[in-house]
Amino acid sequence: MRAVRLELNGVEVAAVAEGGETLLTLLRERLGDTSPKAGCLQGTCGACTVLLDGEPVLACLTLAELADGRRVTTVRGLADGPRLHPLQEAFMDGFAAQCGFCTPGMLVAAKALLDRDPNPTREQVIEAISGNVCRCTGYTPIVDAILEAARRMAGRRG
Amino acid sequence: MRIRKELFADERDDDLRLVGQPVRRQDIEGHVTGRTAFFDDHSVAGLLHLRCVRSTQHHARIRSIDTSAAERTPGVRRILRWADLPKKAHNILTIFDFGIDDEPALADGKVRYKGEPIVAILAESRRAADEAVAKVRVDYEPLPAVFDVEEALKPGAPLVNEYIGRNWFRYWGDYDCQQIRFGDVEAALRSADLVVSGRYQMSPIEHAPLETQGCIVVPAEDGRFTVYTCTQGLFFSLDNTAAQLKIESNRLHFVGGTVGGGFGGKVDTVVEPLAVLAAMLTGRPVRYVFSRAEEMQVSSPRGAERIYIEDGVMRDGRIVARKITHYHDAGAYSRLSTYGTIKSAAHHPGPYTIPNVWVDSWCVFTNRTPSSAMRGFGVTGGDFALESHMDVVARAIGMDPMELRIKNAYRDGDMKAHRKLTQGAALVECVQVAAELARWPLSEEARRDSSRVGGGGERARIPPTPTARTRAPGSTGTGARVEPARLGTGFAASEPRRGTTPLPGWTGGAGFPSSRPEPPRREAERREPPPEPPRPSTGGHGAIRFSSVFGSRRR
């Protein structure tokens, strides 16, 4: 057992994690953020992707205690109050979600990409979400939506 | 996007104005904000976790199950066995009075496929349940197994499923397979210019939804149970859970509709009955979720199919005879494969007017993972075979494959092999549009052709049809009399209802009786209203009745 303090989507939180507990369990069962999904629990599907200090990690393979003192961002941290992130808007406009189970991980992976490179090529987008499986196989609208979000964000900056 | 209303208008009362237009899904805001609540996103205090001990054998008798070490594992609260089941075997279609209850939710003394659940362990944590699962010792007496549909039909093949009593499903009282008989195929094959044969095969396909299947059951203070589930058929699963637990359906409240990928793989209702039973017996909330490994290994895949096609073809491209034998591998239990087999028979011989058609579609039991629904099951495999074969035929006679399809396409007014008149045909037009989009050159004649012309008349006739019935090798019929006029419709008589739980003389572990006595009829278990008489061939069309499960076409 150990106490873990972290900043979850901008809010200071703390919880007690058992030895060997994953960040995914900490988030879903102790901190009440069920947006990262348990698709495989073996690091292959990407549905549990969250950002740890801005870098995408697989929460199902990350020990909870490794998040101690760090910033964790889930898809619930993307919106600014009632204002959705351009990625979220572009996903909605472009039908880039079907069952929705991969969507939180997909969006978080896309955010990490746009934070790093606001103007990615199509190939870079595909590379950035290559660890995220969409079994509904809606990859084309997802890639399109990420590129569209990048365009919209560039427009706002410009 | 263009909707050719002149072809489909009679069948659709809506104006299809949304097709081709961007529309925002009503659930998508929840998806992109992470607020959509899938079944496992419901937070419940005091959960027990259910995990199953699964068979390591493809086919075996169980000599003994030693759970003593598992019971001593800290956190273990209860172990469920076959003896705890209110209903000893079940099939999800028997709630519609179709099929045979042929699958125990926990092993009944025998395992029939690798991964079959044997006992269920309930523990305070997932980890404790997994530890206890690993401590259960099962003593197996391995039995010969069969993995191939044609091997399974041979006399002397190991009997897979004693509830069925044979390695194939017998339809409508006395048919060893679904059979279409239309015209004289053998004579037409003899007189054809060319006979083109093919053998086609589909492997099982796992749906692999990102969300593995599972449910959370919460007992309410009023004796009801709230079931958070990912089932694709909320009320279908509710009814099947109630039937399997022998409780009134109003004791169950199913909450769902958010399915993290289904594709047909989440209608079998394999998790809910055990989880509700566990909640009933412990008074605790219960969570039962497949691991990814279980999802891949034991959830129903699309069944393996093997399809033989023999076409009698004339040099001018007319297909004058089509003879098909279609085998569906149901695996060890029926689930929905009995229905998928009906669908394949309903789909053959494809959208073509062929004057002589002979189809045998078999639902065969093997020691493979039970297969079930997946995206057009029964039809997809058949279409793969039919359309592959059309290309083979085209090559064999040196004809353009698009033109071959147009030449043989059914047209309005044609009689189908199922004795239904063709209406609203549009295959000719679809091929024309596909050719145009693919810049595939068509002859002037093919470009001008239409589904509206050339049909009917002689093509509306039901030809004289020999009524030879196919029997499995070594099979004898039940002797049920079926009127010759109904032969081939497949939907005339209904399977006599058979409840088989438990099998007479079956005490678990002692082996099944070698000659299976006729099980008691199920009437005793039925509630009001009383059983309906067998449906006439004009109504109660099997395919239409079942289509309500999966959503029937709008009219």
Query: What pLDDT is attached to residue B480?
Result: 53
> Among B22, B34, B40, whose Cβ lies nearest the Cβ of A38?
B40
Check CB contact of A108 with chain B, cutoff 8 Å.
Answer: no
Verify that A46 and A103 share a domain, yes or no.
no
Note down the domain range covering A51: 2-77
Verify that A64 and A91 share a domain, yes or no.
no
pLDDT digits (tens, 9 = 90+) for B4-38: 767 765 566 667 777 777 789 999 999 999 999 99
* C-alpha triplet B274, B280, B281: angle, nearest 5°: 90
Q: Decide if the complex's ipTM is over 0.85.
A: yes
Distance to chain A for B73, nearest Cα, Å? 19
Structure tokens belonging to residue B66: 């030693």
Domain boundary among A60, A77, A94: A77
pLDDT digits (tens, 9 = 90+) for B100-125: 999 999 999 999 999 999 999 999 99
Verify that A71 and A112 share a domain, yes or no.
no
Verify that A73 and A91 share a domain, yes or no.
no
**A91 → chain B, closest CA residue:** B32
> Among B32, B43, B259, whose Cβ lies nearest the Cβ of A99?
B259
Contacts of A106 in chain B (CB under 8 A): none
Query: What pLDDT is attached to residue B2?
Result: 67
The domain total for chain A is 2
Residue B68 has pLDDT above 90, yes or no: yes
Rounded Cα distance, B280 and B278, in Å: 5
What H or E segment, with its residue span, contains residue B197? strand B194-202
Distance to chain A for B20, nearest Cα, Å? 13
Whether B263 and B374 have beta carbons less than 8 Å apart is answered as yes
Query: What pLDDT is attached to residue B463?
Result: 96
Query: What pLDDT is attached to residue B548?
Result: 37
Domain boundary among A44, A77, A110: A77
Rounded Cα distance, B118 and B304, in Å: 25
Domain with A129 in it: what CATH number? Answer: 1.10.150.120
CB-based contact A79 B33, cutoff 8 Å: yes
Residue B80 has pLDDT above 70, yes or no: yes
Distance to chain A for B257, nearest Cα, Å? 10
Does the pTM of the predicted model rise above 0.90? Answer: no
Check CB contact of B19 with chain A, cutoff 8 Å.
Answer: no
Rounded Cα distance, B75 and B73, in Å: 6
What H or E segment, with its residue span, contains residue A50? strand A49-52
Mutation target among B18, B21, B24, B33 for the A interface, most CBs of A within 10 A: B33
Average pLDDT over residues B408-436: 95
- Better-scored residue on pLDDT, B492 or B547: B547
Whether B483 and B492 have beta carbons less than 8 Å apart is answered as yes
Rounded Cα distance, B241 and B111, in Å: 22
Residue B485 has pLDDT above 50, yes or no: no
Check CB contact of B183 with chain A, cutoff 8 Å.
Answer: no
Contacts of A100 in chain B (CB under 8 A): 27-28, 30-31, 36, 258, 260
Rounded Cα distance, A47 and A62, in Å: 14
Cis bond upstream, residue B529 (ω within 30): yes
Average pLDDT over residues B150-174: 96
Phi and psi, residue B260, nearest 5°: -80, 60
Check CB contact of B43 with chain A, cutoff 8 Å.
Answer: yes
Closest CA to A31 of A67, A83, A84: A67
Verify that A101 and A66 share a domain, yes or no.
no
Phi and psi, residue A25, nearest 5°: -65, -40
Task: Indicate the pairing of strand B214-219 with strand B225-229.
Answer: antiparallel
- Better-scored residue on pLDDT, B554 or B146: B146
Residue B546 has pLDDT above 90, yes or no: no
> Among A76, A87, A134, whose Cβ lies nearest the Cβ of B34?
A76
Verify that A70 and A121 share a domain, yes or no.
no
CB-based contact A29 B43, cutoff 8 Å: yes
Query: What pLDDT is attached to residue B479?
Result: 53
pLDDT digits (tens, 9 = 90+) for B233-256: 999 999 999 999 999 999 999 999
Verify that A13 and A53 share a domain, yes or no.
yes
Whether A36 and A77 have beta carbons less than 8 Å apart is answered as no
Whether A91 and A104 have beta carbons less than 8 Å apart is answered as no
Distance to chain B for A55, nearest Cα, Å? 19
Rounded Cα distance, B32 and A47, in Å: 13
Query: What pLDDT is attached to residue B510?
Result: 31
> Among B30, B208, B263, whose Cβ lies nearest the Cβ of A100?
B30
> Among B24, B33, B210, whose Cβ lies nearest the Cβ of A135?
B210
Contacts of B290 in chain A (CB under 8 A): none
Verify that A59 and A122 share a domain, yes or no.
no
Query: What pLDDT is attached to residue B538?
Result: 36
Verify that A71 and A95 share a domain, yes or no.
no
Query: Which positions of chain A have pLDDT values less than 50?
Result: none
Question: A21-45 burial by CB neighbour count: b if 16+ within 10 A, else e?
Answer: bbbbbbbbebbebbbbbbbbbeeeb
Residue B48 has pLDDT above 70, yes or no: yes
CB-based contact A101 B210, cutoff 8 Å: yes
> Among B38, B43, B210, whose Cβ lies nearest the Cβ of A32?
B43
Query: What pLDDT is attached to residue B542?
Result: 36
Mutation target among B27, B124, B210 for the A interface, most CBs of A within 10 A: B210
Check CB contact of A34 with chain B, cutoff 8 Å.
Answer: yes
Rounded Cα distance, B416 and B496, in Å: 28
Verify that A49 and A90 share a domain, yes or no.
no
Phi and psi, residue B255, nearest 5°: -120, 125
Whether A105 and A36 have beta carbons less than 8 Å apart is answered as yes
CB-based contact A37 B38, cutoff 8 Å: yes
pLDDT category, B482, cuts 50, 70, 90? very low
Rounded Cα distance, B463 and B387, in Å: 25
Distance to chain B for A27, nearest Cα, Å? 11
Verify that A73 and A6 share a domain, yes or no.
yes
Give the whole-number percent of chain B exceeding pLDDT 90. Answer: 79
3-state per-residue secondary structure call for B62-131: EEEEECHHHHHCCCEEEEECHHHCCCCCECCCHHHCCCECCECCCCCCEECCCCCEEEEEEECCHHHHHH
Verify that A69 and A6 share a domain, yes or no.
yes
Domain boundary among A77, A100, A115: A77
Query: What pLDDT is attached to residue B458?
Result: 96
Rounded Cα distance, B340 and A91, in Å: 36
Cα–Cα separations (whole angstroms), residue B499 to B91, B179, B247, B274, B503: 10, 25, 17, 20, 9
CB-based contact A92 B24, cutoff 8 Å: yes
What H or E segment, with its residue span, contains residue B361? strand B357-365
pLDDT category, B1, cuts 50, 70, 90? low
* C-alpha triplet B58, B60, B63: angle, nearest 5°: 145
Closest CA to A35 of A88, A102, A112, A89: A102
CB-based contact B28 A34, cutoff 8 Å: no
> Among B207, B211, B262, whose Cβ lies nearest the Cβ of A39?
B211
> Among A29, A39, A88, whose Cβ lies nearest the Cβ of B33?
A88
Residues paired with B51 in a beta bridge = B121
Contacts of B35 in chain A (CB under 8 A): 35, 76
Check CB contact of B40 with chain A, cutoff 8 Å.
Answer: yes
Residue B540 has pLDDT above 50, yes or no: no
Query: What pLDDT is attached to residue B9?
Result: 59
Average pLDDT over residues B444-453: 96
Query: What pLDDT is attached to residue B516?
Result: 35
Check CB contact of B379 with chain A, cutoff 8 Å.
Answer: no
pLDDT digits (tens, 9 = 90+) for B384-395: 999 999 999 999
Cα–Cα separations (whole angstroms), residue B384 to B180, B192, B331, B378, B381: 19, 24, 21, 10, 5
Domain with A15 in it: what CATH number? Answer: 3.10.20.30
Average pLDDT over residues B229-235: 97
Check CB contact of A61 with chain B, cutoff 8 Å.
Answer: no
Task: Indicate the pairing of strand A71-73 with strand A2-8.
Answer: parallel
Check CB contact of B209 with chain A, cutoff 8 Å.
Answer: yes
Domains in chain B: ranges and CATH: 41-143+208-297 (3.90.1170.50), 152-205+301-460 (3.30.365.10)
Average pLDDT over residues B251-280: 97
